Structure 1
Amino acid sequence: MQRNGEGDRMLSGQVALVTGGVRRIGRAIALALAGAGADVVINARSSAEEAGAVCKEIEALGARAAVHLADVTDEDQVTRMRDEVLDRFGRLDILVNNAAIRQEAALTEMSLAEWRGVLSVILDGAFLTSRAFLPAMAGQGYGRIINIGGVSSHTGASRRAHVAAAKAGIEGFTRALAVEFAGCGVTANCVVPGKIGGKRSATSGESFSLHGHELRPIVGREGRPEDVAAMVLTLCGPAGGFITGQSLHVNGGLFLT
């Protein structure tokens, strides 16, 4: 297997799984990895038609593709997904935990079910998928885990307490993974998108603000899903081998660390 190749096919021979991989950032990441030579498994909870369309795009890039419909908050479904991926491809090199719910609700009107629902998809999902695949990664002595964070966990955001809390948690989880599996050839990093343009889901909201003022990227444009995918690709390629336990912001200067 080529792990350290150069050029456009630097991930040739590797296998990736992208949760929430059918739209926007997830889709862009899946296509970027496929374009670099990786075979890609698209996970979605129920969007079979959209997932199939992304698979066709991946195959057009010369990579193998597969769809696995699974709720990442369900332990049994994640276990079955792991078994099917490893049975079909024999390995997993890259895990991108992108699945999320980005709802909006005023804190005083937020139900406990809404709170737990957001945290479950983002945190429980990343925990279950990472726990499922890390033994295989550690056994082969190589792996890349990329968790997708959110800038609201750094700036705060009105009506997004559940999202901000979950995304802050995913950064702590990332650092814990990095330390625990450093000796196994596995790196773990968190990519933190800023304001990404394009069509949003009905629950995503229009924007977020800091102290009542809308935040805008200083570069003069909103981000694109491909901007986030480019960072993920860097971390998965040879150039990312010495980067682990980090939160890398892709936000056009919207938030300066």
Structure 2
Amino acid sequence: MLRLRGSAAVVANHPAAFVRAVLKGFRANQGLLLAGAVAYYALLSLIPLLILVLIALSHLIDEARLLATLREYLEFAVPGQSGALVEELRAFLAHRDALGGLLLATMLFFSALAFTVLENAMSVIFFHRVAVRRRHFLVSATMPYLFILFLAVGLLVVTVVAGRLQILAGRHISVFGELFTMDALSATLLYLMGVLGEILMLTAIYLVMPVGRLSLRHALIGGVAAGLLWELTRHVLVWYYATLSQIQTVYGSL
């Protein structure tokens, strides 16, 4: 029989009290305001971040293949709006030669804003660590760009693996004389790879963003919990936009 110890035992024995404490802390720390700020700056950073990543990776991988992969996995971040975003990116990439130094510097700045705001939000959540020690300015200034590099490498790996899985989708296997396509298996693996990438990114945020050292185990627990909650929220949003929302009728596409 599995026995829980420490904080895990307290949560398991008193789940209602734990939920009340979480909601109380969320309200006291202006959680909705922080979440809104992170979401706003994430949307503000999304287009310039993706443009920079695509310009860099298009030297290594075919542009159409990159955009197809990006469209698939943008659904994890902006449900129902990936098509509009990819079309905007495609139009910008068609005129990439007009990209000057000033525009490049501006995009770099806006690409890093979301990570800067996220770090500030983490400092509120882990305020007791900030009171003990502060992060050096150069570390805080460099960290967003390291995350951008991390995302670029992740997109490169995902694009290569997705290409291999698409090749697998066109194949057939024979079981007792019956031919079966690999389409369903390929689609399932692509989805699971997206969820895994999402969890790894959230784990990296929990591991690196807070001041001080957080154990990998705790960061992984936070990443898995946040990733699964976001997947649930994402499916609800997809259903809402598809059935109830009139936002595109009023405001147009993103």
TM-score greater than 0.5 by the shorter chain: no
Q: Scaled by the length of structure 1, what TM-score is found?
A: 0.28
Greater percentage in helix: 2
Q: Scaled by the length of structure 2, what TM-score is found?
A: 0.28
